[in-house]
Structure 1
Amino acid sequence: MIANEIKGGYSWTLVSRLADMLEKSIEIHGPRDTSYTVLGIEFEKNGPQIWYPFSSNYIAIQLSLNASHDSINGCYELAHESVHLLSPLGERGASVLEEGLATKFAVDYVKSEFGVDQKVNLPSYQKAYDLVCKLLALDESAIKKLREHEFVISKFTPELLMEHYPDIGQEVANELCSKFKRNAT
């Protein structure tokens, strides 16, 4: 996306959208770990994903090649990756809960901003999304509240979930806190 000067500023680009996404995500889910520096956005054939070049405290956001010319898809992918910027692990290994939360935020963002009902294409992400929706149905502020006890979303434990949200059930708590497997069915 090219930034075009408009009255009072510039048109939306992926970078300005990222700022909007972070503000909204922080409001909903709590503060971002600012010890990590977000370097920017790039396009890569294996995207979308985040990666940690040179140091675990630098983060680059990689979007798919398709996102470079499809602004809604680009915003969907970027909204998903923006959630991973809240409490990065410094390495791969996000939990089902974090991936589901990222998927939910992305779906909600493109619906709110563009009126588009985005489909979740991979079964593993749909399952993670569905599980997170079960938790958030109990308390839409659950993530923000749980982060007061464990700041890093992917380090939430089943015990933490059950202590604060016993109605979620042990099986769902275990699944949410397990390591996400992208190619799982």
Structure 2
Amino acid sequence: MSIQEENMQAYEQLLPIFLAEAEELFGPKNDYIFIGIGYHNHPPRMYMFDKDPFSGEEYYKVDLYGVGAINDRKDGIFQLSHEVVHLLSPVPQDTDENDVNRVNYLEEGMATYFAKRVTERETADYDFCNNAMLKDEKYFTAYMRYQSLKEIDTEAVKKLRTIQPIIPLIQAEDFVAAGLDVPQNLINALLEKFPE
């Protein structure tokens, strides 16, 4: 078996482990059907692959950036662990900039935090994660915003998701309903839609 085949096989085995860990940290995943991992020449993403017109069941898939993930286990673990967080409460994404389903800084911060946590544990390469986060400032910003929330309450996301389980749909009033004492400026920063 080639190193590329070994890596792809490893990701299939790691995905349910990483997802279980993400559920432990952030609350249970929503109900949908996961159909697998693909490899493409675009940035990693999670997306709705299909929807059954009769049952309404949604089918989601994760695409990893193939060149990086297939050839470099560390990069693949980083990509996969990030996308796993988006599998907690996936929603169809429109291209409309005003799309209420669009991912917010809270979710991207959670995903970046989780990717850093998992990749550092699995690879013991702390520089890799820091460098990856700093390549695109918006991910570092999301990470820092999530860290600010986590410093206030490590269970904040779980509490929020008992009120609104779909992360992109969390509203400012959900923080109050969840019993969280978070400054309004941080709430606004977390709920800001993440730029494409």
Structure 1 residue 22: Cα displacement: 0.6
TM-score under structure 2 normalisation? Answer: 0.82
Whether 1:43 aligns to 2:46 is no
Counterpart secondary structure, 1:43 = strand
Q: Which runs of 5+ in 2 are unaligned?
A: 52-56, 95-101
In 2, Cα distance between equivalents of 1:151 and 1:172 = 20
What's 1:177 paired with? Answer: 191
What's 2:98 paired with? Answer: none
RMSD of equivalent CA atoms: 2.0
In 1, Cα distance between equivalents of 2:44 and 2:85 = 13
What's 2:58 paired with? Answer: 57
Q: Is the 8 A contact 1:162 1:169 kept in 2?
A: no
Structure 1 residue 97: Cα displacement: 0.4
Pick from 106, 121, 124: which aligns with 2:115?
106
Deviations 1:60-104 (A, max 9, x none): 101112111111110111001000111111225111100110110
Structure 1 residue 159: Cα displacement: 2.3
Counterpart secondary structure, 2:148 = helix
Structure 1 residue 146: Cα displacement: 1.2
Pick from 152, 165, 187: which aligns with 1:138?
152
Whether 1:129 aligns to 2:143 is yes
In 1, Cα distance between equivalents of 2:49 and 2:160 = 29
In 2, Cα distance between equivalents of 1:110 and 1:85 = 18
| Residue identity matched to 1:53 | F
Structure 1 residue 3: Cα displacement: 5.0
Q: Is the 8 A contact 2:50 2:60 kept in 1?
A: no
In 2, Cα distance between equivalents of 1:37 and 1:100 = 24
TM-score under structure 1 normalisation? Answer: 0.87
| Residue identity matched to 2:22 | S
Counterpart secondary structure, 2:163 = coil
What's 2:27 paired with? Answer: 30
What's 1:90 paired with? Answer: 92
In 1, Cα distance between equivalents of 2:153 and 2:120 = 21
In 2, Cα distance between equivalents of 1:46 and 1:158 = 33
| Residue identity matched to 2:11 | L
What's 2:161 paired with? Answer: 147
Report % sequence identity: 29
| Structure 1 residues 171 and 162: alpha-carbon distance in aligned structure 2, compared to 1, 3 A threshold | farther
Larger helix proportion, structure 1 or 2? Answer: 2
